[in-house]
Amino acid sequence: QPAKNVRLYCGRKSTKKIMKIFNWKYRYFRNKINGVKRTILDLEFKRYKLAELREESREEYDHLKSRRVVLQNKIDSEKTTPTMEQGDIARLDDDLVRLNIQIESKEAQLKALDMEMHGSKQTAEYPDGAQGVDQTIDALHELVAMLESYIKNNI
């Protein structure tokens, strides 16, 4: 005996929806779309963390550059009017060289983070170009749209 307030006949549209649930192709492509959406979420998290890491590196880079300017000014003033011993001035020169190496290292790190985030066009260093996280996310959004279109039109 049927329960109260339950329709026995669901209609054509709901029958079609129910039949889709049991269709293995529909389930396969639905699961594929869900997997691609999870990948997109993972890449968006990666993009967030890359931006955070780049900001930290940029702050360190700015700090190193300001230290270099202060050190260079101190060296220039000591060379014009010496108030320190020659050994101390040589130590300041060594510090400046060390600081320049650190700055070059930070520049390379920032360039690598930008490359990973945004990718690169064709260059001598990257003949085929490099795909970044942004381009990968865009490509995956296009893939989701293609899969949904396929499900709608063919299943």
Contact at 8 Å (CB) between 75 and 121?
Answer: no
What tens digit of pLDDT does each residue of 80-127 get?
888 888 889 899 999 999 999 999 999 999 999 999 999 888 787 777
For residue 59, pLDDT beyond 80: yes
Amino acid, single-letter form, for residue 83: T
Using N-to-C axis directions, what is the helix angle for 86-118 and 133-154, rounded to 10°? Answer: 10
> Which CA distances in Å does 50 have to 18, 53, 88, 94, 140?
43, 5, 40, 33, 19
For residue 37, pLDDT beyond 90: yes
Cα–Cα–Cα angle for 50, 54, 56, rounded to 5 degrees: 120
